[in-house]
Each structure stands twice: as structure tokens, then as C-alpha cells.
A and B are shown apart, each in its own frame.
Chain A
């Protein structure tokens, strides 16, 4: 029994070590190599030393084995963190496929201290309930259109996060307990703050459509399965958006015309009944 256990632990440990070696060679950038190396080697050493303890089955050996495991588990993260931190300062390049470097701009280059983000409105407060940040709707722009959509979602009990580039609006939304992030929605970090990677739909309700295509592209990189809803005022944009953005596009005047037509037809019928 002990023999089988110690042999199994040994093989498992060696497998993790082998994975660490493969990861260090195959991973595309330093930080990914590190996560392969440190996690796998820690687990590898843990299993192997445990195998030694099981194999000898003596109190003295077991004590030393446990002490070694504790030591490795305490020191490996510290060493990994120090190396990663130092490498980040040296400017070791990230993998070219990296979408967001969330640490960028957060280190003081001179003192090497972690600075607090400059703007509390640019990050979502940690107090926001995590259940509200999955399968939710992200609304970009909380003006006349976005605001109405937001109220309707609240009335229907659907959670949403607002991205706004006007500070005052974010401030007001936070006061009335609506999750809001200040920033430009074409920035990946802003979309991530709104938890777009877990969102179900993205509603772009800003009247200015200059950035819309970039927003949708960034959103699709962060969350390929997101459903996009866009508004516009120009006919030529309607066709170009419908071609380039796989999503629903609403043209302001068309919707207005449709609603007015419905009203006219209903009331015309009502009058003719008289």
C-alpha cells in the first residue's frame, strides 16, 4: 500500500516537473513561462517529497519532508513574484497576442512602488455584487437613449454596467447605486472593468459613431460571443455597420418613423370607427 502510494506520488511529481520543463521551453513569453515553471515545480517537489515521507514512514523523515514542503510553498511564490516584478521593470516584452496589460501605468517608475489608480471612477468598486457581473448587459453611453434602456432593464430586473466618458454622469449613477465605469469604451481595460468578458450583450447607445467600429472590435477580442446592439443616424452607416458589425443596428429615424406610423395607423382606424 505504502509502496504503491509513494511510487504514484513520485511519478505524479516527476510528471509535473516534466510539464514545468516543457512549459519553460514552449510558452511564448517570460510571464507565461514563469507560471508554468513555478506552479508545476512547486507541485512536483511537493509530491516527490511526500513520496519520500511515505516511503520511509519514519517520524523524523516525515517531519523534515513536511518542513521542506512548507518551505518550498512559502518561498516559490515570493521568488516568482520578485523575478516577475523585476522583469516588468526591465521591460521584458509580453507575448504579441497580449490584449491587455492591466499593470501598465500602475507602477511608479522612479520609486518602484505600486501606485493606486489615479481615478476611482475608472474602476468598478469591489463592493459590486459578483452575481450582477455575469450574464449582464453593458451599456455604452448613458444619455437619452442609454438612460431609457437602463431604466427599462432595471424595471425588468436585468443587471447592467454603464460605460460613460462623462465623469458627472458616472458620479450620479454611483450615487443611485448603478454600476458605472468612467472611460472610453474602445479601451480594452475599460471594457474589462465593465466585466465585458462575462457579459451577454453590449449596447452602444452613444450618438457619436466615430469610435463604434473600434469598440466592437475590441469587445469581440475580449468576448467573442458577445451580442452587439448599435445605433446610428446615417443611412450609409446603417449599411456599413450591418456589413462589418455582426449585430443589430438601429437607425434613429427609421425607428421613429416606425413608431409614428404605428400611432397614425392605430388612430386612423379608431377615428374611422366613430
Chain B
């Protein structure tokens, strides 16, 4: 499957934008200040990586990468839920 210049340019631009977004989220991950802030940032990073993977599926022409994106979204959800429970447990003790 050949990729037109148009779509491939669009996919590279999108990948760059995702990269910037991930860096921004990482800034919040490092800065905090509270634990929930970091959890939200981490959750956003995993979602953004999933999005970048989906874009890469288009850029590389391999639909399998979509499955990777799905799994990443799943893991992001599980991780966030686990963190939320952990934060809430921490308070009640």
C-alpha cells in the first residue's frame, strides 16, 4: 500500500504535535505538585502515546498498531483506577 504525500505529511505533523503534547504533560508530571496531579499527567501521557501509536498505524500502513493503541488505552485506564484507589485508601488510614 503506497501512502500519498498528503496523508504522510499530515501524519508527521500530527506526530510532532503529539510529541509536544507529551512533553507538556511530562512537565506537569515532574512539577506535580500533588500526587493526583502527577497521576492525571501520567494518564494523559499514556492516552497521548496511544494516540501517537494510532497515527503511526497510518504513517506505517500497518493496521496492527491500532491494536497496540487499544491496549495502551486499556492499561492507562487500569493504571489510573489503581492510583485513584491507592490515593483514597491513603486518606482513610
Contact = CB atoms under 8 A, between A and B. Distances in A.
B57 A52 contact: yes
B81 A49 contact: no
B92 A112 contact: yes
A183 interface: no
A24 B23 CA distance: 11
Contact of A71 (B10, B74, B81, B87): B74
Contact of B28 (A33, A87, A92): A33
A146 interface: no
Interface residues of A, number: 52
A3 B4 contact: yes
B51 A22 contact: no
A14 B80 contact: no
A273 interface: no
Interface stretch (A61-69, A95-103, A160-168, A256-264): A61-69
The residue among A8, A17, A89 with the most chain B CB atoms within 10 A of its own CB is: A17
A83 B58 contact: no
A90 B80 CA distance: 16
Contact of A48 (B7, B39, B51, B83): B51
Given A6-B7, A13-B14, A68 B63 contact: no
A55 interface: yes
A8 B23 CA distance: 23
Contact of B20 (A21, A41, A55, A79): A21
Contact of A64 (B6, B39, B66): B66
A49 B54 CA distance: 6
A45 B40 contact: no
A7 B7 contact: yes
| Most B Cβ at <10 Å: residue of A4, A18, A21, A51 | A21
Interface string A2-20: 0110111011011101101
B34 A79 contact: no
B88 A89 contact: yes
B21 A17 contact: yes
Given A45-B73, A86-B84, A14 B13 contact: yes
Given A75-B73, A75-B77, A13 B51 contact: yes
A41 B36 contact: no
Contacts of B58: 6, 10, 51-52, 55
A49 B47 CA distance: 12
Contacts of A8: 10
A46 to B, nearest CB: 10
Interface string A78-96: 1100110111011010000
Contact of B44 (A21, A60, A71, A89): A21
Interface in B59-93: 63, 66-67, 69-70, 73-74, 76-77, 80-81, 83-85, 87-88, 90-92
Contacts of A68: 66, 69-70, 73
B54 A21 contact: no
Given A14-B13, A37-B44, A49-B66, A30 B37 contact: yes
B51 A86 contact: no
Given A68-B70, A82-B80, A56 B44 contact: no
B48 to A, nearest CB: 6
12 contacts: A10-B55, A14-B13, A20-B48, A24-B40, A33-B37, A44-B47, A52-B54, A55-B7, A68-B66, A75-B77, A79-B76, A87-B87
